[in-house]
Amino acid sequence: MTRVQNDSAAAIDNIFIDLSQFENYTVTPIISGMSDHDAQLLMISTDYSHVPLYKLKTTRKFNKHTISDFLNKLSCESWNTIFNSEDVNGMFNSFLNIYLRYFYSSFPLKK
């Protein structure tokens, strides 16, 4: 992004690319007129034309049954390891471990 003001122009952000990997590129300003900041569009041309035949997509299954299972597991937890601690970081880590264990078991990854 560049800032253009009166008779000066300054770069606010920087883009670094490895020219040994990308020799064919262009940078074009995108002037929106909404502020004194102009965006920069970096377009990199490659000769790589391999298109995969399919893409694997990993998702989690959320429905009323899996959500109910998750809420049930959370409600059955005693939470003693969290409320009986004086260490805030330990409390948070205990909570996060319990929460994620139930989250991963109730909403397993599917391909």
Q: Supply the pTM of this predicted model.
A: 0.50
Predicted confidence at residue 95, as pLDDT, reads 92
pLDDT of 59 above 80: yes
Mean pLDDT score, 79-106:
90
Predicted confidence at residue 12, as pLDDT, reads 64
Q: Tell me how crowded residue 106 is: count the other CB atoms within 10 A of its CB.
A: 20
Cα angle for residues 69, 72, 110 (degrees, 5° grid): 25
Residue from 2, 65, 56, 7 nearest 28 by CA: 2
Give all strands (DSSP E) within 6-50, no chain letters: 8-11, 24-30, 37-45
Mean pLDDT score, 37-59:
76
Q: Note the pLDDT tens digit of each residue in 6-24.
A: 777 666 666 777 777 777 7
